[in-house]
Structure 1
Amino acid sequence: MDGRSTPTTAKAEDAGRTGPAAGAGGSGWSMWASELTLLLRRRRTWAMLVALAAIPVLIAVVVRVSADPVQPGQGPPFLDRVTQNGLFVSITALVVTIPLFLPLTVGVVAGDAVAGEAGLGTLRYLLLAPVRRGRLLLIKFAGIAMFCVLATAVIVTAGSVIGALLFPVGPVPLLSGDTIGAWEALGRALLVGAFVSVSMLGLGAVGLFISTLTVVPVGAMAATVVVAIVMQVLGALDQLAWLHPWLLNYYWMDFADLLRQPIAWGSFVDSALLQTGYVAVFGALAYGRFATKDVLS
């Protein structure tokens, strides 16, 4: 014996590490549940969620212990409102995480979706199960989408809890000048979280496509994050104003319309349409690449 695993042994070892394989012959729901279980069993996933939760906690603690109150216009948007109402902690945390931290975590999950399976050698067993390649891609993207929801939910939840513990909570003044109750304000924060989750789906689709191009997950992760950074750099150049509405990050910060009375849904709809376009285009590219990719040799 040379210490190397035989294909049969490797298959048995990998069976416990791959999600969709467990439900390969079952329904789409069982496969999706298996993929979600795989995602949540990874220490990396929990490390990223804990890091995201730490951001609103850090913001709240710094504002609380600061001797000088935050003046209007200082720091990120809504930061000056935190001391007046703790519910603004979650909104401020979303503003802080959207440019870098959220795209980074989404890029890690999306880049690993297919490349991680290929790198471990479990992808071939998923496809020999058998599982249709298009179906497997849909399950992988569903897992990415669920992480987008989890990531924003963690930020909103952590921000709301720490905000309520450290600051007063009461009626919330909206950007339109109206005032709403605390529970309705919490609902608005969840709505903002939904907006942000949807806004990350296009990047998830880009990462899924890149993940089909390589068997090196770290490379796919890095490339996806680079795409997000490049998009933001292009969005900052006034000379490319004609291109801005087509960039996947164009509406990322436009959730302020959800903090008005009545709610202005235009930006939410426009963002959803743009992300749908990215999902459709890069989903098709991912399928075109994955359907012809040789992973069985």
Structure 2
Amino acid sequence: MSRADLRLLAAEVRLLLGRRRTWALLGVLVAVTVLLGVAVELSGDDGGGDGGGPPLLGRITDNGLFLAVTALGATVPFFLPLAVGVVAGDAVAGEAQLGTLRYLLAVPVGRTRLLLVKYATAVVFCLCATGTVALTGVVTGLALFPVGEVALLSGDVVSASGAAWRVVLVAAYATLSLLGLCAVGLFVSTLTEVPVGAMAATVVVAIASQLLDSVPQLAWLHPWLLTHHWLGFADLLRDPVSWGTTLDNALLQAGWVAVVGSLAWARFTTRDVTS
């Protein structure tokens, strides 16, 4: 990226982080993570029974670092897509509604360049959102539960610093999982001047994909669905780390970004901008 592109990106990120809505979204993610930790602490359940709960949930009381991983797993299906949908869906439609889009393009800023910067800004928010969940999970876990050596899903034991590195990997995996949704939100945002509609449509795409992924009769379709590998980070909690699912997820998200991003580019570069 050129210096001009970096300046534009920095300006977009500052604008994003200066909005109360952005901090409200991050606040919701913080609240969900803290409530999850408090709920586990108050339940007094070690998770070792036969209740059939999530396999990571019972490990929180043994080591607080697992709260960050569990919180990421709990927020990926809905809360993180909701936050990303709000930001990505508003990227172009919000500018059109405010009447600032044509002024941005008159700077001059090429349409392709502006679209790429808008996408990069959404990706930065993804990093902020997953990082917020992970950091809140670590801090809350340290406050509520013991922390020491961690038993991974493979049965191997690693140090607390090694476990913290796994938390970083899972947060990075969650960010990777949302890249395709960012492209979807950006595409929908180029179709309308009503940001609320674009936000809602983006979230609906994420929910519909997860519903389709749960239908056994559509097994042939599952590998192509945007959300198919969203919860596949368990392989990062084994020793040695298995990178197969991460690679599959990266290829899937790259495919969605390429296809839907191309649609967004085709729409935006041929669109009559009147506002």
TM-score range relative to shorter protein:
over 0.9
Q: Percent identity?
A: 59
Q: Does 1:197 align with 2:179?
A: no
**CA displacement, residues 2-27 of structure 1 (integer Å, 9 cap, x when unaligned):** xxxxxxxxxxxxxxxxxxxxxxx961
| Alpha-carbon shift at residue 219 of structure 1 (Å) | 0.3
Q: Give the letter aligned to residue 236 of structure 2.
A: L
Q: Assess if the C-alpha contact under 8 Å between 1:201 and 1:279 holds in 2.
A: yes
For residue 91 of structure 1, what is the aligned residue in structure 2? Answer: 69
Name the CA shift for 1:55/1:76 in 2 (closer, same or farther; >3 Å).
farther
Q: Give the letter aligned to residue 91 of structure 1.
A: V
**Structure 1: which 5+ residue stretches go unaligned?**
1-24
Secondary structure at the counterpart of residue 65 of structure 1: helix
Secondary structure at the counterpart of residue 200 of structure 2: helix
| Alpha-carbon shift at residue 63 of structure 1 (Å) | 1.6
Q: Does 1:253 align with 2:231?
A: yes
| Alpha-carbon shift at residue 65 of structure 1 (Å) | 2.1
| Alpha-carbon shift at residue 69 of structure 1 (Å) | 3.9
- 2-structure distance, mates of 1:276, 1:78: 28
Q: Assess if the C-alpha contact under 8 Å between 1:77 and 1:95 holds in 2.
A: no
| Alpha-carbon shift at residue 82 of structure 1 (Å) | 0.8
Q: Give the letter aligned to residue 261 of structure 2.
A: G
Q: Does 1:217 align with 2:195?
A: yes
> Could you tell me which of 99, 102, 124 is aligned with 2:102?
124
| Alpha-carbon shift at residue 121 of structure 1 (Å) | 0.3
**CA displacement, residues 19-49 of structure 1 (integer Å, 9 cap, x when unaligned):** xxxxxx9611101101110110011110010
For residue 52 of structure 1, what is the aligned residue in structure 2? Answer: 29
Q: Assess if the C-alpha contact under 8 Å between 1:152 and 1:193 holds in 2.
A: yes
Q: Give the letter aligned to residue 82 of structure 1.
A: I
Secondary structure at the counterpart of residue 158 of structure 1: helix
Return 232-241 or 64-73, whichever deviates more. 64-73
- 1-structure distance, mates of 2:230, 2:134: 16
Q: Does 1:277 align with 2:251?
A: no
- 2-structure distance, mates of 1:216, 1:296: 14
Secondary structure at the counterpart of residue 92 of structure 2: helix
Q: Assess if the C-alpha contact under 8 Å between 1:85 and 1:172 holds in 2.
A: yes
| Alpha-carbon shift at residue 55 of structure 1 (Å) | 1.5
TM-score by structure 2 length? 0.96
- 2-structure distance, mates of 1:74, 1:279: 36
Q: Does 1:39 align with 2:16?
A: yes
Question: What is the alpha-carbon root mean square deviation over aligned residues?
Answer: 1.3
- 2-structure distance, mates of 1:259, 1:184: 10
**Structure 2: which 5+ residue stretches go unaligned?**
none
For residue 61 of structure 1, what is the aligned residue in structure 2? Answer: 38
**CA displacement, residues 226-268 of structure 1 (integer Å, 9 cap, x when unaligned):** 1111101110111110000000101000000000111101111
Q: Assess if the C-alpha contact under 8 Å between 2:101 and 2:273 holds in 1.
A: yes
For residue 154 of structure 1, what is the aligned residue in structure 2? Answer: 132
Larger Rg belongs to: 1
Q: Assess if the C-alpha contact under 8 Å between 2:45 and 2:58 holds in 1.
A: no
- 2-structure distance, mates of 1:85, 1:198: 26
Q: Give the letter aligned to residue 14 of structure 2.
A: T
- 2-structure distance, mates of 1:59, 1:200: 22
| Alpha-carbon shift at residue 54 of structure 1 (Å) | 1.4
- 1-structure distance, mates of 2:55, 2:111: 44
